[in-house]
Amino acid sequence: MISLYIKELKSFLSSIIGYIIIGVFLIISGLFLWVFPNMNNVMESGLSDLQGLFSLSQFLFIFLVPAITMRSFAEEKRNGTMDLLLTQPLTDMQIIWAKFCSCLTLLVIALLPTLIYVITIYFLGNPVGNIDMGSTWGSYLGLLFLGATFISIGLFSSSLTNNQIVAFIIAAALCFIIFFGFAFIYSFEALGAFGYYVKNLGIEHHYASISKGVVDTRDIIYFCSVIFIFLFGTRVVLLSRKW
């Protein structure tokens, strides 16, 4: 499993795709946080926090994470190496976890340069150091859970097809629907009190809570459950080859 994880990670870092994804994330987030006039601009808001980054990242992840995961299984199928991979002395879940961890590692690599923003805001604060570090680290944790959830959705989507573009579209659509769809349904007053439970099924509700630095076990359980469901779904798709 470790060797497959290293192989997957090297394939990302040895191709231009990995660097494009990291570059796009850093450039867009940097421009909106520091250059373009908008509600997420740190200098315009006058607040010494990074809530703009965490608000912006939820939209970027919907498209960038599927770009990371789209090749995971689709490319294996297209190149005819899927059967060879499945004959290795690894269980289906070990293969899935290796790909999951390699995608998550790439996401962490993309987030690491944003720590420069934390340092910058730390020194820009009045007085210096006027930043809630507990909330900031909690928000980063929420961002990792969000990314991990989208990765599990992306792997499931990639296992459904041998076309990377189709895998990307399916993953982006699922991420968008699960993130915003339940909140949209909740907006209909006809649901009454039941609407609150519908809202709880969506990622947006739980991410909004944890991105404020409030680490609630209910949110963590939710993210872990969604990750498990889609990774298990990926395993079911892989097992379908034996049916």
In this predicted model, what pLDDT tens digit does every residue of 25-72 receive, in sequence order?
Answer: 999 888 888 888 877 777 776 666 777 788 888 889 999 999 999 888
Amino acid code (one letter) for 108: V
- Provide the pLDDT for residue 216: 79
The residue among 179 and 101 whose pLDDT is bigger is: 101
The residue among 187 and 234 whose pLDDT is bigger is: 234
pLDDT in tens, 74-90: 887 887 777 677 677 77
pLDDT in tens, 179-201: 887 666 666 665 566 666 666 77
Cα separation, 150 vs 67, in Å, equals 11
> For the CA atoms of 190, 201, 161, 19, what is the dihedral angle to 10 degrees?
120
Cα Rg of the chain (Å, integer): 19
Once rounded to an integer, what is the mean pLDDT over residues 162-180? 91
- Provide the pLDDT for residue 182: 67
Cα separation, 131 vs 115, in Å, equals 13
Residue 114: pLDDT over 70: yes
Share of the chain above pLDDT 70, in %: 87
Cα separation, 1 vs 123, in Å, equals 43
* Model confidence, pTM: 0.90
Return the number of other C-beta atoms located less than 10 Å from residue 151's C-beta. Answer: 29
Tell me the average pLDDT of the chain: 83
| Rounded alpha-carbon distances, angstroms, from residue 154 to 43, 105, 137, 169 | 35, 15, 25, 10
Cα separation, 5 vs 99, in Å, equals 6
